[in-house]
Each structure stands twice: as structure tokens, then as C-alpha cells.
Amino acid sequence: MHNTARRTRQRGLSFIGLVFIAVVAVSVVAIGGQSLPIFLEYQAVIKAAKKAASEGTTVPEVRAIFDRAAVIDNISSIQGKDLEVTKQNEQVQVAFSYSREIALAGPAYLVYRFKKQTP
């Protein structure tokens, strides 16, 4: 009886629990490592779109400014021709939307969809 009471008071992680936690941690690090460049590129796209909207006055000019910034910041997901350029109250507005995907395993993908409009 004394031996059974001692076993119920034991605490800790089982080997299977440790393996499960390790698999989850490795998955989070792997997905995070692939997602970080995507979000850094998204921040660069926002910066380039704001620059193009503030400096450009015509649609071709805005797209050219964006393309020059895209070369500098190594943006490959979107190009100037993909931008939606409008003018509202004599202010140029640039909108964009695109998606990026990460292959997980087999037919499974993680898809990021980005959509933004400059003020």
C-alpha cells in the first residue's frame, strides 16, 4: 500500500509527452523560419507602396517607383503592374493584394493572403 501511494505522487513528463512537445516545437520553428521572410517582404511591399503613392503622380510613374523600390528591397511576390492605382481628392492611393504559400507536407500548404491600401 505504501508503494502505491508513492507512485501516484510522482510527477514529470513521460517519454511520449516529451517526444510530442519536441515535434510541436520543431514544427513551430520550421514554419516560423519560413514565415519570417514572407512577413519581412510584406513590410517592404507596404513601404514601397507608400513611397510610390507619395512620390508618383501618374499610374506609370507610381508603378515605376514601386518597381525600383522592389529591386532594392528584393520584393519578388508582387510587381508594379499588379498595383491598383487610384486618385482620390487629388491624392494618389495604391492598393495591392497577393498571396504566398508554404508547403507543409504532401498536399498541405499554409497560405498567407495580403491585402492593403495606402491612406
SS3 of the chain = CHHHHHHHCCCCCCHHHHHHHHHHHHHHHHHHHHHHHHHHHHHHHHHHHHHHHHHCCCHHHHHHHHHHHHHHHCCCCCCHHHCEEEEECCEEEEEEEEEEEEEEECCEEEEEEEEEECC
- Please tell me the predicted confidence (pLDDT) of residue 77: 94
- Please tell me the predicted confidence (pLDDT) of residue 7: 59
pTM beyond 0.85, yes or no: no
Run means of pLDDT, 10 residues per run, the chain, 119 residues: 60 88 93 94 96 92 95 94 91 95 92 93
